[in-house]
Amino acid sequence: MLQRFKEQVAASRIWQYIVFVFIAWAGIWNIIEPLNISWITDHLLVWRLMLLAAALLIGAVQFMLATSRTLETIEVGGGSKSLDESYVSIGQPQLSVKVDDKNGAVVAVRGDFEKDSMDWALKSSAQKAKRVEFTYAHVNRFCFYLRVVVQKAGTGHTSKWIRFDNTIGGVEGNPTEEEMALPVDAKNKEHFLLCSIDIAEAVKRTFGQIGWEYARVMIFRVRGEGEIKSIRFK
């Protein structure tokens, strides 16, 4: 709910007008204060406190919006992409939209873990994301993946897969191979799970063992059987 509120404020024309009015007010104040107009000088402290309070409030909201900016949201019937329409499948996974009592519209995914997968490609402006937040519920084994581009001085770039797997207890795989795995660290959210991942840290724990560093993220993938509420890149 808080995240949705932040997104609504960031996109609101009313908020943009408020910021514009404040900037205009501050500019005009710098002009008229030195003129020693009586209705200003008689209440100078009040006017200055009002300006300071407005500056602090607008600054705090702008900081909140900047630190929580969502680069791409993938969910049912909203966001920049629709979960049930914008994917590319491998194999024959089954997808359907259902309504959850607590989470609203969600996508139910069902497939053979070894053969089927579903991919969502990120738009170019979201590929520098620092964090991904995945809200989901697993039915049977259900893993999600990030296709990341990594870089190393003197070597150039290459792409790798990081698998997030709730059936393992630690880092798995060889950093010289194409895929490595990390355990899932998630918290409960309205009967679903919310997993928030620092992408650069995930790369550091896996392929960073031999010096690779995170450059960008290209694809989000799921395998198995579960339900998805949303995927957010920040």
Quick: pLDDT tens for 131-167: 999 999 988 899 999 999 999 987 889 999 999 998 9
pLDDT of residue 62: 66
Closest by CA position to 9, among listed 136, 98, 132, 17: 17
Cα–Cα distance for residue pair 183/54, rounded to 1 Å: 45
Domain 72-233: state its class: mainly beta
| pLDDT for 13 | 65
Question: pLDDT at residue 12 above 70?
Answer: no
The kind and range of the H/E element at 121 are strand 117-121
Give the other-Cβ count within 10 Å of 12's Cβ.
Answer: 11
Measured CA to CA, the distance from residue 100 to residue 192 in angstroms comes to 10
Q: Give SS3 for 99.
A: strand
pLDDT of residue 69 exceeding 60: yes
Rounded to an integer, what distance in angstroms lies between the CA atom of residue 55 and that of residue 62?
Answer: 10
pLDDT of residue 133: 94
Instruction: Determine the Cα–Cα distance for residues 75 and 86; give it in Å rounded to an integer.
Output: 10
pLDDT of residue 57: 80
Residue with tokens 């870089």: 151
Which pLDDT belongs to residue 95?
A: 92
Around Cβ 139, how many Cβ atoms within 10 Å? Answer: 12
Residue 206's nearest CA partner among 137, 147, 120 is: 147
pLDDT at 60: 73
Q: At what angle do helices 2-11 and 44-67 cross, to 10 degrees?
A: 110
Cβ(157)–Cβ(215) below 8 Å = yes
Place of tokens 């791409």: 72
pLDDT category, 47, cuts 50, 70, 90?
confident
Provide the pLDDT for residue 3. 52
Q: What's the average model confidence in pLDDT over 69-74?
A: 85
Ranges 11-25, 89-103, 179-193, 202-216, most confident? 202-216
Query: What per-residue confidence (pLDDT) applies to 116?
Result: 95
Q: How many CB atoms lie within 10 A of CB 74?
A: 24
Q: Is the pTM of this model over 0.75?
A: no
Nearest to 81 by CA among 109, 120, 107: 120
Confidence at residue 30, expressed as pLDDT on a 0 to 100 scale: 75
State residue 4's pLDDT score: 54
Q: Across the chain, what does the average pLDDT equal?
A: 86
Task: Using CB atoms within 10 Å of the CB of residue 118, give its burial: 0 to 12 exposed, 13 to 18 middle, 19+ buried.
Answer: buried
Token readout for 128 is: 């520098």
Contact 74, 86 (CB under 8 A): yes
Residues 118/136, Cβ–Cβ less than 8 Å: no
Cα angle 112, 218, 225 (rounded to 5 degrees) comes to 20
pLDDT at 195 exceeding the cut of 90:
yes
At residue 225 the predicted structure's pLDDT band, cuts being 50, 70 and 90, is: very high
| Structure token digits, residue 89 | 């499948």
Calpha distance 160→177 (Å, rounded): 8
Question: Does 230 score more than 80 pLDDT?
Answer: yes
Task: Write down the pLDDT at residue 2.
Answer: 53
Ranges of each domain in the chain: 2-67, 72-233
Between these two residues, 55 and 187, which has the higher pLDDT value? Answer: 187
The yes-or-no verdict on residue 180 having pLDDT over 90 is yes
Residue of higher predicted confidence among 164 and 31: 164
